């Protein structure tokens, strides 16, 4: 498997996990815009720090699957929450 295909599969899997988490646990979503933006900021910081955590080859495998995958899922979940808040604010939510 090439690196590009692995990254694509990792991102697709993270997106599916984020969608599943939102559908399975809808009460996890913050109700206020401020808390949603706080979660989004935390996810941004985690995603900025994640690539530097697996510098050694021994830490690469757990770094990718424990840290990077978790940060990606959290970031995408925050994106879903921001879209949900925006839809509510625009009156487009059900």
How many folded domains does the chain comprise? 1
DSSP state of 91: T
Phi and psi at 24, nearest 5°, equal -80, -35
Query: From CA 82, how far away is CA 36, in angstroms rounded?
Result: 7
Residue range of the domain that includes 14: 3-90
Whole-prediction pTM value?
A: 0.82
With contact defined as beta carbons under 8 Å apart, do 63 and 54 qualify? yes
Walk along the chain (94 residues) and give the pLDDT tens digit of each residue: 788 898 899 899 999 999 999 999 999 999 888 898 899 999 888 888 877 655 566 667 777 777 888 889 999 999 999 999 888 888 886 6
Query: From CA 31, how far away is CA 36, in angstroms rounded?
Result: 8
């Amino acid at each position: 498997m090439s690196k590009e295909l692995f990254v694509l599969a990792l991102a697709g899997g993270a997106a599916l996990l984020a969608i599943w988490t939102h559908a399975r646990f809808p009460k996890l979503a913050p109700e206020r815009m401020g808390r949603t933006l706080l979660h989004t900021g935390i996810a941004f910081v985690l995603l900025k720090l994640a690539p530097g955590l697996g510098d050694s080859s021994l830490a690469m495998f757990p770094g990718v699957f424990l840290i990077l995958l978790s940060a990606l899922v959290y970031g995408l979940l925050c994106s879903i929450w921001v879209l949900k808040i925006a839809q509510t604010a625009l009156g487009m939510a059900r």
